[in-house]
């Protein structure tokens, strides 16, 4: 069955790979599943046809036969459940525990680490012209640093968050990539190296290139 | 094997049930699994013994034999995977699709609906004494209303988000409960009724009473 995902017709980041379809593309590349992409304009995202797929009017969505999903975490998890390569094999008790811990890191990336990072984007961009911006941004940066410090201490000198690379790392690296422009990651060399390890994966590179091809079509 | 979770020694909400251990208690009550609770002080949450369980120094955690998990979403998902009652049975293709959609709502509650609600708490409480508070709170309220409007349109006059009650509803109701004091839910009668349906479940009541017993010990 064909897998079809949605992505921005034109990503607000101009092809830096920060739009959430990159996470889904990366997951599909890790498990070597081909997929098609339907591009959606900002206008179309708020219209009934897309809202029927995604109640919050966002991308990505995921369609495969009768199944339609939204929410990046759920889509990546679904891909990881269906295909080997993104979660430890849960067939034996030890593997089942490792699998539960990898899933934990998916939730941690999305529920604990990403929210202050998104807040920082809001503080800088959406509220960048507000009179409180200069005073408030440092507060939000401190909240991000608090999480980065905790994550850095946990990671130590390990390559990945819990044993082998997993969907938890895919999600955490994707979340941390949003911080690149801020320079905040530079204070945590082990996290910067962790992000670089993620980006160096061939599957990530293929996913990045695929979204770039949409957002920066070759000249000519 | 005994299940042990952690909870605040004294919850910041004084027993309103908004601390995240209530979500895990509720899940365990829905699937009728007994559990023990280890109370943790704010000081102990930041000490090595607890950080070894929860890298971000929060509650709840979940221990069962060799398995140690953190992150509410991951814990509730783990409980839902292990025991019937919180996710559609995925044995047949139709059930598998329904199960994937229920998991989608767990992620939607935590990644899409809860962040602006937590931001509102931060704007009102943590930043309530800042000079920008009066101007900024309405902006954050609008972001919450945007999500509530979308969720309300999706729910319509259904009882639950997708068919029967699931871990997705457990998480969404728990997230929306944080809004009760704000009055914002009142503009969406179907969401207010949805939350009330969640609270009326015997398993929720048992979970709520259990956390209340910790936070408001009976006089005498």
Q: Specify the fold of A3-87+203-211.
A: Glutaredoxin (3.40.30)
pLDDT at B218 over 80: no
CATH 3.40.30.10 location in chain B: 3-87+203-215
- How large is the average pLDDT for residues A30-40? 98
Adjacency order of strands within the sheet including B36-40: B36-40, B3-8, B61-64, B67-70
Task: Give which of B204, B201, B167, B198 is closest to B185, Cα–Cα.
Answer: B198
Q: What is the ipTM of this complex?
A: 0.96
Task: Give which of A41, A37, A54 is closest to A10, Cα–Cα.
Answer: A41
Q: What is the pTM of this model?
A: 0.97
Question: CB–CB of B119 and A114 under 8 A?
Answer: no
Question: CB–CB of B135 and A136 under 8 A?
Answer: no
Q: List chain B residues with CB under 8 Å of A92.
A: none
Q: Which whole-number Å values give the CA distances from A48 to A6, A62, A117, in the listed order?
A: 15, 17, 30
Per-residue model confidence (pLDDT) at position B187: 97
Q: At B220, is the pLDDT very low, low, confident or very high (cuts 50, 70, 90)?
A: low
CATH 1.20.1050.10 location in chain B: 93-201
Average pLDDT, chain B: 96
CB atoms inside a 10 Å sphere around CB B196:
11
Per-residue model confidence (pLDDT) at position A216: 82
Closest chain A CA to residue B153: A55
Q: List chain A residues with CB under 8 Å of B74.
A: 100, 103-104, 106-108
| Contact indicator for A144, A120 with CB cutoff of 8 Å | yes
Give residues with Cβ within 8 angstroms of A72, minimum separation 6: A20, A23, A24, A60, A110, B107, B111
Query: What torsion do the CA atoms of A196, A201, A206, A212 make, to the nearest 10 degrees?
Result: 0
pLDDT tens per residue across span A130-189: 999 999 999 999 999 999 999 999 999 999 999 999 999 999 999 999 999 899 999 999
Q: List chain B residues with CB under 8 Å of A127.
A: 136, 139
| Contact indicator for A146, A113 with CB cutoff of 8 Å | no
Give counts: helices (H), strands (E), chain A. 10, 4
CA distance A49 to A60: 14
Q: Specify the fold of B3-87+203-215.
A: Glutaredoxin (3.40.30)
The C-alpha of A33 sits at a distance from chain B's nearest C-alpha, in angstroms, of 18
CATH 3.40.30.10 location in chain A: 3-87+203-211
Per-residue model confidence (pLDDT) at position B216: 82
Q: Which whole-number Å values give the CA distances from B220 to A28, A101, B210, B212, B217, in the listed order?
A: 60, 43, 18, 16, 9
Q: Specify the fold of A93-201.
A: Glutathione S-transferase Yfyf (Class Pi); Chain A, domain 2 (1.20.1050)
């Amino acid at each position: 069955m064909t897998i079809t995902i949605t992505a921005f017709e034109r990503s607000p980041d101009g092809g830096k790979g920060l739009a959430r379809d990159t996470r889904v593309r990366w997951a599909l590349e890790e498990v070597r599943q081909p997929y098609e992409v339907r591009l959606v304009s900002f206008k179309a995202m708020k219209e009934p046809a897309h809202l029927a797929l995604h109640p919050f009017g966002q991308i990505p969505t995921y369609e495969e036969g009768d199944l339609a999903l939204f929410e990046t975490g759920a889509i990546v998890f679904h891909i990881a459940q269906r295909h080997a390569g993104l979660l430890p094999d849960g067939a034996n008790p030890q593997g089942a525990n490792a699998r539960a811990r990898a899933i934990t890191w998916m939730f941690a990336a999305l529920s604990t680490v990403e929210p202050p990072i998104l807040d920082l984007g809001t503080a800088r961009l959406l509220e960048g012209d507000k009179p409180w911006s200069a005073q408030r941004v440092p507060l939000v940066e401190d909240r991000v640093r608090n999480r980065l410090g905790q994550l850095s201490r946990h990671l130590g000198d390990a390559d990945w968050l819990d044993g082998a690379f997993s969907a938890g790392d895919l999600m955490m690296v994707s979340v941390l990539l949003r911080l690149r422009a801020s320079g905040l990651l530079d204070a945590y060399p082990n996290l910067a190296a962790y992000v670089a390890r993620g980006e160096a994966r061939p599957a990530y590179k293929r996913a990045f290139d695929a979204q770039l091809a949409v957002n920066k079509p070759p000249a000519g």
